[in-house]
Amino acid sequence: MARLLQIVQLGHPVLRKRASAVEDVRGGATQSLIDDMLATMEDASGVGIAAPQVYESVRIMIVSSYPSIRYPHAPRMAPIPIVNPEIVWASEEVEKGWEGCLSIPGIRGLVPRNKRIKVKFVTREGKVGEREFADFVARVFQHEIDHLNGIVFTDRLETPLDMITEKEYMKIVS
């Protein structure tokens, strides 16, 4: 049975550390962590989560998408557990878009991200996969892989003026 995990808040050193590769993808500990991350992300109404956000410095992340009050135009996509991801190609086209983070509650930022990416990763079944993501889902992927590299979205802001509170953000999207 999946457990709800505590989400790390900005300031904890695990968010600034490069996560280690997962060796035993199909092992029980890895599978349990993936299940726990899925449950935790869903409980927090997130569209993504990375293992460092639940105090585990390993290269596992979940990418998901669905329309919500915060992201009304997001496409619907089932959560995808991703192990040992890497971006193998990124479009030159960059787009700024609003991001938030479960580890930085109450703050939103206008973050520049590549509009399209091609990624390589290992599935939870241990198979190597490759996919292309675009727009919102590409943004979520880049946000989560940043967590695996010790980067948070506020590091990517072009100016502090691109940061607002959640309350002000909701006025924009409502």
Q: Looking at residue 44, what is its pLDDT?
A: 95
Q: Looking at residue 82, what is its pLDDT?
A: 97
How far apart (Å, rounded) are the C-alpha atoms in residues 119 and 134?
Answer: 11
How far apart (Å, rounded) are the C-alpha atoms in residues 81 and 38?
Answer: 8
Question: Predicted confidence band at 72 (pLDDT cuts at 50, 70, 90)?
Answer: confident
Q: Domain 13-173 classified CATH 2.40.50.140?
A: no
Helix (H, G, I), strand (E, B) or coil at 119: strand
Q: Residue 1 in contact with residue 24, Cβ under 8 Å?
A: no
Is the per-residue pLDDT at 158 higher than 90?
A: yes
Which of 144, 158, 166, 168 is an active site residue? 144
Domain boundaries, the chain: 13-173
Structure tokens at 157: 């802001």
Active site includes 144?
yes
Is the per-residue pLDDT at 29 higher than 90?
A: yes
Average pLDDT over all residues of the chain:
96
Q: Looking at residue 69, what is its pLDDT?
A: 84
How far apart (Å, rounded) are the C-alpha atoms in residues 170 and 174?
Answer: 6
Overall average pLDDT of the 123-129 stretch: 96
Q: Indicate the pTM of the whole model.
A: 0.95
Q: Looking at residue 68, what is its pLDDT?
A: 87
Structure tokens at 124: 């939870």
How far apart (Å, rounded) are the C-alpha atoms in residues 49 and 145?
Answer: 9
Q: Looking at residue 1, what is its pLDDT?
A: 85
